[in-house]
Structure 1
Amino acid sequence: MILTARVTTEEAGMRLDDGAKALFPNLSKTEIRRIIDWGGCNVSQALVRVASRTLKEGDEIALGIMEASRCIDLVYRKEDLLYEDSDFIAVYKAAGFNTQRTPYQLKGTVEYAVDCYLKKLGLKEPARVIHRLDRGTSGVMFFPKNKRSATLISALLKEGKVDKTYWALVSGTPDRTGWRDDSPIGKLGKFKYGVAFGGKPASTIFTVLGEANGMTLVEAKPLTGRTHQIRVHLKHAGFPVVGDEAYGGAPAARMMLHCRSMRFTGPRGRIIEAVAPLDDDFAAAAPEVIENAPA
C-alpha cells in the first residue's frame, strides 16, 4: 500500500519525519523512520532516505507501507560470493528477498546489497540488474562490474547464449523422463501469467532428476526469458511448483524453485560459471530426492 499527501503551509519547514507524522497520523514516528531508512519514501517523486530533510510547501510525500517482518538486511561479503573476477560477480539470492528496489524498499534488496559491495571495492559503477529472480525464487544472480561487461551479458541473455539451469520440486509424478514446452505466455492479471493464445513465444526444456514420496525434482532450462516462465510451463504440464500457491502449488515453507547454475562465455573467451547450493527448506522438503540429484 502506498500513502500519498501534499505538504501544506502547516508542514512546510518541518523535518520529513515530523511532517509525515502530521500528514499520516495513523503511523508512528518509528514506522515512518523505518520506511524512510529502508527506501520506501519519495518526496516529489525522488527517493529520500534522510529523516531530517526539510519539507517545502507543495512537496508530495509518498510512503510505501511494507510489513516490518520483511525488513531483513542483506549484506554480501567477499566470502559469500559464488563467483568473482574483474568483470563479474555472482551472488546467492535467498528466497524471500526482492531482486531490485520496489516502491516500498531499497535496503534489503539484492540490488542494494550488491551496490554496497561494489562501493566497498572502490568502484563507482552502480549495481546493474541484467536478469531477475522472483522474490520466492532462490539461486544464482550475476552482476557486471562495468558497463562493457553489462553490455556483453545483456546481449548474451537476449541471444539465449547464457545457459541457465533451475531446479523445481513439484507434486506428482510425470509419466516421462523429459519434455519441452513451447507454449506462448501472456499476462492474465496484474501479477499473474499463463499459457495464452497470442502470448509471447516461450520455450523450456524439462528433465526429471528424481522422484520420491509423491514429489518430483525437475530440472528446467529456459530457452527464453518470459516472466514466470518455468512456473507457468510447469502448471501447464499439470505439475505446479510446490509452494507456488499463485499457480496452484501445494503449501510449503517457500516456493521450491531454485536457479541452480548459470554459465556463459566471458569477454576473453573464458567460460564463466556459478553454482548455488540449496537452502535448508528446499533440501528438507524432499531429502530422498535431493540426495540422489546430480551435484
Structure 2
Amino acid sequence: MILTARVGADQAGVRLDEGAARLFPQLSKTRIRTIIDWGGCAVGGTMVRVASRRLQAGDEIVLGVMEPERYREITLAPEDILFEDGGYLAVNKASGLNCQRTPYQLKGTVEYAVTLHFRACGSAEPARVIHRLDRGTSGVMIFPASRRAAAHISRELKEGRVEKVYWALVAGMPLADSWQVDAPVAKVGTSRYGVAPVGKAALTEFRVVARGNGATLVEARPRTGRTHQIRVHLAHGGLSIIGDTTYGGIAAPRMMLHCRTMTFRAEDGRPVSATAPPDREFTAACEQHGIQFGGA
C-alpha cells in the first residue's frame, strides 16, 4: 500500500517521523520509523532513511507500507554464496525475497544483502542488479563486482549469450518429453502477462526432467527475456506451475520455479557458471508427487 501526503505549515520544521505520524494517523510512530529505516519512505521523490530529517512546507511524503511479516532482515550466509571470484558473485536467492529495492523497501532485499557483503569484503561497489527473479522464484542470481564486469554481463544478456536453466514443477503431464513455445508475451493486466499477438517475441525450450504422480518436473531454457515468460508459456500450454496462483497454478507454500544454473564467459574468456540447489519446500513438493532427485 502506498500512502501520499504533503507537508503543511503546521508540520514544517518538525522531524520526519513526527510529521509523518501527524499526516498518517492510521500508523504508529514506531511503524513509521520502521518504514523509514527499511527504505520505504521518500520525500520529494528521494528515498530518506533518517527519521530526524526536518521537513519543509510543500514536501511530498510517500510511504510504502508492507505487511509486518515481510520485514525480514537478511544477510548472506556462507551457504547462500555459490561462488565469488573477484569479478562476479553468485548467490542462491530464496523464494519470497525481492531481488532489488522497491517503493516499499531497501533492507530485506537481495540487493541490500549483497551490498552489505561487498562492504564487509572491503569493496565500495554497489550491488548492481543486472537480471531479476520474481519474488516467488528462487535460485541463481549473479552480481558483478565492478562497473566493467556489469557492462560485460549486461552485453552478454542482451546478445543472448548467457545460458539460463530453470526447474519448474507443473501440474499435469506434458505430451512430449521436449518441446518449445514460440509465442509473444504482452502485459494483460496489473502485474499480469499473457500470450498476445501484440506482445514481444518470446521463445522458451522445455524438457521433462522427471514425471511423477500428477505432476512433472520440467527444465526450461528461455531464449528471450520477457517478464514472466516461463510462467506464461507453461500456463499457455495448460501446465501451470504449482504455487503460481496468478497463472492458474494450485496453491502451495511457494511458487515452484527455481533458477537452476547460469553460465556465460567473462570478458577474459574464462567460463563463469553457478548452480543452485533447490530449497526444502521445492524438493518436498517434488517428493509428494513421487519425484526423487536427492535435492541435487
With the shorter chain as reference, the TM-score category is: over 0.9
Matched, 1:30 2:30: yes
CA deviation after TM superposition for structure 1 residue 29, in Å:
0.9
Change in Cα spacing, 1:123 to 1:294, as seen in structure 2 (3 Å) is closer
Given the two structures, how large is their TM-score scaled by the length of structure 2? Answer: 0.97
In structure 1, the partner of 2:249 is 249
Which ranges of structure 1 fall in alignment gaps of 5 or more residues? none
Q: Secondary structure at the match of 1:164?
A: strand
Instruction: Summarize the alignment of residues 64-79 of structure 1 with structure 2, pairs less than 5 Å apart.
Output: 64-78=64-78
Q: Which letter maps to 1:67? A: E
* Distance (whole Å) between structure 2 residues aligned to residue 38 and residue 26 of structure 1: 19
Return the alpha-carbon distance in structure 1 between the equivalents of residues 103 and 184 of structure 2: 30
Q: Residue 279 of structure 1 corresponds to which residue in structure 2?
A: 279
Q: How far did 1:289 drift?
A: 5.0
Q: Encode CA deviations 1:107-157: one digit per residue, 9 max, x unaligned.
A: 001111111111222222211110000000000000000011001100111
Say which is worse superposed, 20-29 or 75-84, in terms of deviation: 75-84
Q: Give the corresponding residue for 1:261.
A: 261
How far off is 1:294 after superposition? 9.3
Could you tell me which amino acid in structure 1 is paired with residue 89 of structure 2? I
Displacement, 1:30?
1.2
Residue pairs, 1:213-224, within 5 angstroms: 213-224=213-224
Give 3-state SS (helix, strand or coil) of 1:286's partner.
helix
Q: CA RMSD in A?
A: 1.3
Provide the residue aligned with 1:94 in structure 2: 94
CA drift of 1:293 comes to: 7.5
Deviations 1:51-91 (A, max 9, x none): 11111111111111110100111111455311101110001
Tell me the residue number matched to 2:183: 183
- Between the aligned partners of 1:294 and 1:271, the Cα distance in structure 2 is 25
Q: Distance in 1 between matches of 2:58 and 2:18?
A: 16
Deviates more, 1:6-15 or 1:135-144: 6-15
Paired residue secondary structure (1:198): coil
Tell me the equivalent position of 2:235: 235
After TM superposition, give the deviation of residue 292 of structure 1 in Å: 3.6
Secondary structure of the residue aligned to 1:82 is strand
Q: Shift of the alpha carbon at 1:4? A: 1.1
**Aligned-pair distance for 1:9?**
1.6
Task: Specify the code of the residue in structure 2 equivalent to 1:291.
Answer: Q
Query: Which residue of structure 1 aligns with residue 47 of structure 2?
Result: 47
TM-score of the aligned structures, taking structure 1 as reference length: 0.97
Matches within 5 A, 1:96-245: 96-245=96-245
* CA deviation after TM superposition for structure 1 residue 6, in Å: 1.1
Preserved contact between residue 216 and residue 289 of structure 1 (Cα < 8 Å): no
- Counterpart Cα distance in 1 of 2:34 and 2:152: 38
Question: Given that residues 211 and 291 in structure 2 are in contact (C-alpha distance below 8 angstroms), is that contact kept between their aligned partners in structure 1?
Answer: no
Whichever residue aligns with residue 103 of structure 1, its letter is P
Q: How many residues align?
A: 295
Q: Runs in 1 of length 4+ with deviation above 4 angstroms?
A: none
Q: Contact 2:21–2:29 (CA<8 Å) still a contact in 1?
A: yes
Are 1:18 and 2:13 counterparts?
no
Q: Which residue of 2 aligns with 1:291?
A: 292
SS at match of 2:189: coil
Aligned-residue sequence identity (percent) comes to 58
Q: Secondary structure at the match of 2:31?
A: helix
Task: Measure the CA separation in 1 of the matches of 2:291 and 2:143.
Answer: 28
Q: CA offset at residue 190 of structure 1?
A: 2.0
CA contact (8 A) 2:41 2:62 kept: yes
Task: Provide the secondary structure at the position in 2 that maps to 1:272.
Answer: strand
Q: Is the Cα contact below 8 Å between 2:283 and 2:295 reproduced in 1?
A: no
Deviations 1:246-292 (A, max 9, x none): 00001101000000010111122111111111111111112165424
Distance 1:292 1:2 in 2: 43
Query: Deviations along 1:153-192, whole A, 9 cap, x unmatched?
Result: 0011111111100000000111110101111111101211
Looking at structure 2, the residues matched to 245 and 223 of structure 1 have their Cα atoms a distance apart, in angstroms, of: 24
Letter in 2 for 1:188: V
